[in-house]
Chains A and B, each alone.
Chain A
Amino acid sequence: MSRIVGIDLGTTNSLVAFMDKEGPHVIPGPDGQTKVPSIVGLTDNGLIVGDPAKAHLIRDPSHTIYSVKRFMGKGLDDVKDELKYFPYHLHEKNGVIRIEIGDKTYSPPQVSAMILKELKRRAEDYLKEDVSKAVITVPAYFNDSQRQATKDAGLIAGLEVLRIINEPTAASLAYGLQKKTQGLIAIYDLGGGTFDISILKLKDGIFEVLATNGDSHLGGDDFDQRLVDVMVDDMFQTQGIKVEGNPELMQTVRLEAERVKIRLSDETQAQAVIQLPNGTYEKLWTRESVESLVMDLVERTLGPCRNALKDAGLTASQIDEVVLVGGSTRMPLVWRKVEELFGKTPHSELNPDEVVALGAAVQADILGGHTKDLLLLDVTPLSLGIETMGGVMSALIRRNTTIPTSAKEMFTTYVDGQTSVDIHILQGERELVKDNRSLARFQLKLPPLPAGVPRVEVNFLIDANGILHVTARDIRTGEAQSVQVKPSHGLTDDEVEGMIRDSFQFAAEDIKARQIIEARNEANAIIVATEKALVRAANLISDKEAEGIRRILQQLGEVKAGDDHRVIRTKISEVEKTTHHLAEVLMDATLKEALESKKLSDVIK
């Protein structure tokens, strides 16, 4: 059975990890870095992901996608307030956001799939085997649409997603495994774009989530934005520079804001420096100034913490340990606020960037049947219900119910001969339908009978991934009924299939693009080296030979602009053949030189 990897698909950074006998490990890239920036660049030469894409962000922001996790499982209406901050155009199709890049459009799961593919490739290179199965983490407070979108992203990337697991619970697995902790723990997880709080009971290898709460739209990105707003305003006031409408500059300011914020976790002040077309912009930030700027955002995390405690039937003082997860918890302000609320010093021994990926690898090992003593019992973060008369939501499954869980509901008719009932599925805590999240709709078919006679039982099942499945059964006949659920903010099965096909096509294009880039790079290197050699060998070869070499070099220079890597390769080997004698002559000369300048004893030694 092939190995299952654990993936932390983050707003800002993503990581992949695996588990062996020694425990979970994060897989580093060729440069030793474990974090892959969750950024995708669509360049003329193909797709780039991670660090190269981050560099691309400043050069070509309108072809570079970042923080795509914020768009997962969402419609345009959900993100309308922040549209102005993004350098690319968005539109909506079938309730799903589409990102416009050049003349192509991408759904958020497609973009996430590009990041997942990069992680898959990274794991395959490191483990030297095919990787086709994964556990992927999501914020605990993600709703059904967001979870489904993440699962779709895995499918598009060619991964079988064995489990969608909540980030704070994943962190608790890694933490509990390491510390052998027992008792009540709170996991405070503040990432790049999302906030989660989970309260767990750890006992004899069982990790039971008692309650979870959060804000799926609050994180480090929002902190950066506050700094950006101040600097953008400041640049206009002091130097008359309009950053809005200049996406390149806007991204430079955003990255600088992020850098300053990170720096202020260790230092008490930091200088922001932004290169402008004519001059520079500088601003000295102090830790206090940033803290007062983001204070309300950090305080916004405390409400969900109190609600989670309340739902768990606990008080803050009953919590044995508080664990911090996510890059944003490095901020001293966050640390202080959490300490104040729980009345104890929080833990952060494990790298807050890596602990979620490590936990996902542990869960992967459990699913693979290797780790048998640990079991995670998670909950559904939001209540699930259906629309009833008067636009009111009637809850079928309450939030913080241990999953898997199911609820049955009986449906009948109100009019003689009625043949269908419309069912609208919702998620959320509010009274009215309009204030909750619409998950899906479907039409239940009923036999044409007098009113009240048909009886169809619908079963709503939330599986261990937190994803909803709907089945129906006619009570009179006992027969199962197929249910065609149309997601309100999700891709249809057909769309996902299409995207999987496209992704193979992209993969082919990507390989082609990479081959061209590699061939071009090689051609450039050969041209430079040969020209250098010609200068050095000016007196060693005939003019005729030199002339012949220059001619073929020029030909190589011409073909390398084309987009067929085979033509470039053929020309490269021709150049190599033609310069064979030149290389020999130079080698001899070098050897002679070496021998002449040294004593015999030096050479033999």
Chain B
Amino acid sequence: MEHQHQAQATTATSRELPMARSMCWHCQSEVTGEYLCGQCVKVQPLSRDLDYFACFQLPRLLNIDEQYLEKTFYELSRTFHPDFYSTKDESEKAISLGNSAFLNAAYRTLKDPIQRAEYLIRLEAGAVKDIRSNPPADLFEEVLELQETLETFRQLAPKGPSSDLEALRKKLQAEREHLEKRQAEMETSLQHKFNEWDQLQERAALSGQAREEKNTILREMQEILSNRTYVRNMVNDLLETMG
């Protein structure tokens, strides 16, 4: 009994090790290959500490080579996808499923520039404590006012054409143009921040010191991103109501 107990305990600890990716979960030999054990060729679970950028062997930059991203995604899919583990044992199936789900999430996130930026901010958030996610007062007032106008429009619209309705339509139309212009400006400034971040990262890689500057850029990006969400929701509301 005692002996069995110990054996179980040993297994439990060794199960923790593969997460660090130093020893094969199956044959206990040192893992030298990237994702497969060099000895028994079993697939290895991805480390829990692995982030999406590292998964694709990319530096934490915001401008990325989309072709490289896709190519790597396809290669890794060929390594991990459950289709290729259908005849393997349950442990390997489970690892393949987990790795595949992680890979898909990583690709989905990095492929989209906005999600990529949001993810990066989350990754670096440990250092950025005071990131604000409420809209600034002026935007907030604009949202409220627009909601009111939209509500009046929705009430008037079913009653047929009128001069009041026409006036409202003109007002909303103008608002829409204004918001769309604002959206375009945000895209530009966001791209600007992306470039700033990347330049800083490359410089920091050499100097190793730029935490304060980084935090400033992250904060600014976060602000643009959350304002962008408000503006986008307003535009969607407008489009929906006005058809």
B105 interface hit (Cβ, 8 Å): yes
A204 touches B101 (CB 8 A): no
- What B residues does A461 contact at CB under 8 A? 97, 101
Dominant SS among interface residues on chain B: helix
Q: How far is the CB of B56 from chain A (nearest CB, A)?
A: 15
Contacts of B86 in A (CB 8 A): 162-163, 367-369
Quick check: which of B42-50, B76-84, B154-162 contacts chain A, the rest being far away? B76-84
Contacts A401-B108, A402-B108; A204 near B83 (Cβ below 8 A): no
- Docked complex Cα distance between A401 and B74 (Å): 16
Check if A375 is an interface residue, CB within 8 A of chain B: yes
User: How far, in angstroms, from A372 to B87 measured CA to CA in the complex?
Assistant: 13
Proximity string of chain A (207-232) to chain B, C-beta cutoff 8 Å, 1 when within and 0 when not: 01000000000000000000000000
Inter-chain contact A463/B77, CB cutoff 8 Å? no
In the complex where A204-B74, A377-B81 touch, is A401 in contact with B87 (Cβ < 8 A)?
A: no
In the assembly, what is the distance between CA of A401 and CA of B115, in Å?
A: 14
Give the residues in chain B near A208, CB-CB below 8 Å. Answer: 74
* Distance of A598 Cα from B88 Cα, bound (Å): 72
Complex Cα spacing A206 to B86, Å: 18
Chain B 150-188 interface 0/1 with A at a Cβ cutoff of 8 Å (1 = within): 000000000000000000000000000000000000000
- Chain A: interface residue count, which band? 20 to 34
B74 touches A206 (CB 8 A): yes
Q: Is A403 an interface residue (CB 8 A)?
A: yes
- Bound CA span A464–B100, Å: 10
Q: A203-B74, A204-B74 are in contact. Are A369 and B87 (CB under 8 A)?
A: yes
**Contacts A204-B74, A404-B100, A461-B101 given; does A375 touch B107 at CB 8 Å:** no
Which parts of B70-123 form the interface with A (CB within 8 Å)? Answer: 74, 77-78, 81-84, 86-87, 97-98, 100-101, 104-105, 107-108
Chain A residues contacting B107 (CB-CB under 8 Å) are 402
A393-406 contact mask (Cβ, 8 Å, vs B): 1 or 0: 00000000111111
A250 at the interface (CB under 8 A from B): no
Whole-angstrom distance between the Cβ of B102 and the nearest chain A Cβ: 8
Q: Write out the residue numbers on chain A whose beta carbons fall within 8 Å of the beta carbon of B77.
A: 206, 375, 377
Residues A463 and B108 in contact, CB atoms below 8 Å apart: no
A375-B77, A375-B78, A464-B82 known; A403-B87 Cβ under 8 A: no
Complex Cα gap A114–B104 (Å): 37
When the two chains form their complex, are residues B83 and A366 in contact, meaning their CB atoms are under 8 A apart?
yes
Contacts of B74 in A (CB 8 A): 203-204, 206, 208, 375
Contacts A1-B87, A367-B83, A368-B86: A405 and B101 contacting too (C-beta < 8 A)?
A: yes
A162 / chain B contacts, CB cutoff of 8 Å? 86
29 contacts between A and B (CB under 8 A): A1-B87, A204-B74, A206-B74, A206-B77, A208-B74, A363-B83, A366-B83, A367-B87, A368-B86, A369-B87, A372-B84, A375-B78, A375-B81, A375-B83, A377-B77, A401-B108, A402-B107, A402-B108, A404-B104, A405-B101, A405-B105, A406-B101, A461-B101, A463-B82, A463-B97, A464-B81, A464-B82, A464-B83, A464-B97
- Known pairs A372-B84, A402-B107; list 12 more (Cβ under 8 Å): A206-B74, A363-B83, A369-B84, A375-B74, A375-B77, A375-B81, A376-B83, A403-B104, A404-B82, A461-B97, A464-B81, A464-B100
Instruction: Identify the 4 closest CB pairs spanning chains A and B, nearest first.
Output: A367-B86, A402-B104, A406-B101, A404-B101
